[in-house]
Amino acid sequence: MRAKIAFLFQTLILVFISLSCTDDEPEIIPDVYVNFQFSIYEPGYNNLTVIYGATKKEYEGYDNNGVIVFRSDLNEYKAFDATCPQHITISTSVNLNENGSGKATCPHCQTVYYLMNNGYPANGYRLKQYRTSSNGEFVSVFN
């Protein structure tokens, strides 16, 4: 009898642990079609020639608020929807802080997003992230 109770207890613990380890985060920003490509040497994208450089491509992403592209290391780029997820009904576009800071700030709620930390703020929801690929000079952003 004790063996059955111990087995049941261990099974319940394993189920509880497996359910608590999920990485499901709420998707605040609705999915929209994103697919564009550019050269880092084009005007407007020169900030991406250096590590931690960032730029915002206007008229892309949710509600055309833009997409932020950030160079996280020599061969990796990250892309985030520029819509602030803290108040989706207002549909505010976050602004890049000075180049090289790796931060973007919402002008409405003053939330600071850390691009080096996958778009997470100190508190609240993170920026929606898009996929990227690059072959040196050209960067593609898509979902």
According to the model, what pLDDT value does residue 7 have? 52
Sign of the Cα torsion 107, 63, 136, 120 reads positive
What is d(CA 99, CA 90) in angstroms, rounded to the nearest whole number?
A: 26
What is d(CA 59, CA 55) in angstroms, rounded to the nearest whole number?
A: 13
According to the model, what pLDDT value does residue 129 have? 97
Which residues of the chain fall below pLDDT 70? Answer: 1-25
- Per the prediction, the chain carries an average pLDDT of 87
3-state secondary structure of 43: coil
Among the listed residues 81, 97, 94, the one whose alpha carbon sits nearest the alpha carbon of residue 36: 81
Q: Give the pTM.
A: 0.81
According to the model, what pLDDT value does residue 21 have? 42
Q: Two tokens at 35? A: 């697919």
Q: Two tokens at 121? A: 């703020």
